[in-house]
């Protein structure tokens, strides 16, 4: 599990402001109640004193204090009952001035029983979806929506689907690079989105982007003055758990894009961080478009998976 630092910081800040908001709400309500029922302020003072006395008696742990603790507890309960009755007399619920939590389980700290609370995890996943670049695609392009009925070659495509679901299942240990190759409208983007969605739900930091946009980000970082600007935008393409490069080959190739692609592939191979790339180009076109240093890695280090059949976009019309 490795959500991006940026996302984690954002969610932590969000949780902190949630706690602050609830504390502010409690303070406002207390002020309201004290102004309408000043006696409650006196009760609260005594409640906090009895609470502290119980605590110090318990810590002292001496014989003979048991009776005193018992008395303090009784007084404490009595005060609470009195307080509730007073609140009710003015139409307030007895929990009106209690500290309220958005999530009772973790009291808005994001941790429950030593593990990340589900409220925190869900926010992480939601935010990671936004960052991944596929938040629009995932609504329609999931494994569930990937049908084999549309293909003539159901068996081959079925094997490809199995390969993709196993890829997600085994991602923690097997980090293959994949090159999806095939003509337009055959499901390459759909299947890579489905993989991304499932892996994000498992807690991985997956980034999806077209080759063109990835190189655009590298260009921007390369040509702008970066001093004092923090981490370059393109850094995420080198660091994420899985990078999905869509439409490789559709970009206008120049010496910069080739250098960026080489850097991405090489850096990620060295860090054992996989890439799934999709392309319309056949192997001959790939060789003529990219430098040997790139093609030797694409053909040597990537599992090539072929998509065949008829353009599903046409079938859908
Ligand atoms: N197996 C499938 N079941 C249902 N819908 C599918 C399937 N494969 C693809 N589609 C749908 O068909 C359309 C085209 O698929 P997709 O965009 O994945 O093709 P592609 O191979 O990436 O094409 P291109 O090379 O033009 O990018 C999309 O709307 C997609 O959701
Ligand atoms: Mg596509
Ligand atoms: Zn929670």
Distance between CA atoms of residues 195 and 160, nearest Å: 12
Give the contacts of 304 (CB within 8 A, at least 6 positions apart): 178, 179, 181
Distance between CA atoms of residues 265 and 214, nearest Å: 13
Distance between CA atoms of residues 299 and 286, nearest Å: 10
* Residue 236 · residue 220 · CB < 8 Å: no
The answer to pTM > 0.85 is no
Residue 198 has which token pair?
């499932």
Of all ligands present, the nearest one to the C-alpha of 280 is 1
In which residue ranges of the chain is pLDDT below 70?
1-3, 62-64, 225-230, 315-317
Distance between CA atoms of residues 279 and 181, nearest Å: 5
- The verdict on the CB of residue 188 being under 6 Å from ligand 1 is yes
* Residue 50 · residue 75 · CB < 8 Å: yes
Helix (H), strand (E) at residue 237: helix 235-239
pLDDT at 229: 60
pLDDT tens per residue across span 119-167? 998 898 888 888 888 888 888 899 999 999 989 899 999 999 999 999 9
State the closest ligand 1 atom to the C-alpha of 312, by its place in the atom list counted from 1.
12
Distance between CA atoms of residues 245 and 217, nearest Å: 13
Residue 102 CA to ligand 3 centre (angstroms): 8
Q: Please state whether 108 falls in left (phi above 0), alpha (psi between -120 and 50) or beta.
A: left
Distance between CA atoms of residues 157 and 104, nearest Å: 46
Of all ligands present, the nearest one to the C-alpha of 102 is 3
Q: Tell how far CA 187 is from the center of its chain.
A: 25
pLDDT at 65: 73
Q: In whole numbers, what is the pLDDT of the chain averaged over residues?
A: 90
State the closest ligand 1 atom to the C-alpha of 246, by its place in the atom list counted from 1.
27
CATH 3.40.50.300-classified regions of the chain: 133-316
| Superfamily, domain 133-316 | P-loop containing nucleotide triphosphate hydrolases (3.40.50.300)
Beta bridge partners of 305: 180
- 104-109 CB contacts, 8 Å cutoff, 24+ apart: 108/15, 108/18, 108/19, 108/22, 109/15, 109/19
Q: Which residues surround ligand 3, an ion (CB under 5 A)?
A: 103, 105-106, 117, 119
Closest C-alpha residue for ligand 1 atom 16? 187
Q: What is the sign, positive or negative, of the torsion defined by CA atoms of 64, 65, 66, 70?
A: positive
With the most atoms of ligand 1 within 8 angstroms of its CB, the residue from 190, 193, 213, 245 to mutate is 190
Sort strands 111-112 and 115-116 into parallel, antiparallel or unpaired: antiparallel
pLDDT at 130: 87
* Residue in the block written with tokens 């999905």: 244
DSSP 310: S
């Amino acid at each position: 599990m490795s959500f991006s630092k940026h996302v984690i910081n954002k969610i932590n800040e969000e949780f902190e402001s949630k706690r602050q908001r609830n504390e502010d709400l409690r303070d406002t309500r207390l002020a309201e109640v004290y102004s309408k029922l000043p006696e409650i302020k006196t009760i609260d003072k005594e409640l906090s004193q009895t609470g502290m006395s119980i605590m110090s008696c318990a810590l002292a742990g001496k014989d003979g204090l048991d009776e005193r603790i018992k008395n303090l507890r009784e007084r404490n309960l009595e005060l609470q009952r009195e307080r509730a009755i007073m609140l009710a007399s003015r139409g307030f619920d007895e929990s009106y001035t209690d500290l309220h939590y958005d999530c009772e389980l973790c009291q808005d700290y994001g941790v429950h029983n030593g593990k990340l609370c589900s409220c925190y995890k869900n926010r992480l996943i939601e935010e990671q979806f936004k960052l991944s670049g596929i938040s629009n695609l995932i609504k329609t392009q999931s494994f569930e929506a990937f049908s084999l009925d549309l293909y003539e070659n159901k068996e081959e495509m079925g094997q490809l689907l199995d390969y993709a679901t196993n890829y997600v299942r085994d991602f923690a240990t097997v980090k293959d690079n994949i090159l999806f190759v095939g003509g337009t409208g055959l499901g390459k983007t759909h299947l890579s989105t489905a993989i991304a969605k499932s892996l994000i739900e498992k807690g991985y930091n997956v980034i999806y982007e077209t080759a063109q946009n990835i190189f655009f980000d590298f260009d921007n970082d390369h040509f702008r003055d970066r001093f004092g600007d923090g981490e370059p935008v393109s850094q995420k393409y080198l660091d994420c758990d899985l990078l999905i490069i869509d439409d490789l080959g559709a970009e206008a190739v120049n010496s910069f894009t080739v250098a960026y692609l080489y850097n991405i592939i090489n850096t990620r191979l060295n860090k054992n961080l996989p890439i799934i790339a999709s392309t319309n180009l056949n192997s001959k076109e790939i060789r003529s478009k990219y430098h040997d240093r790139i093609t030797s890695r694409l053909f040597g280090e990537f599992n090539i998976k072929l998509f065949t059949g008829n353009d599903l976009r046409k079938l859908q019309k």
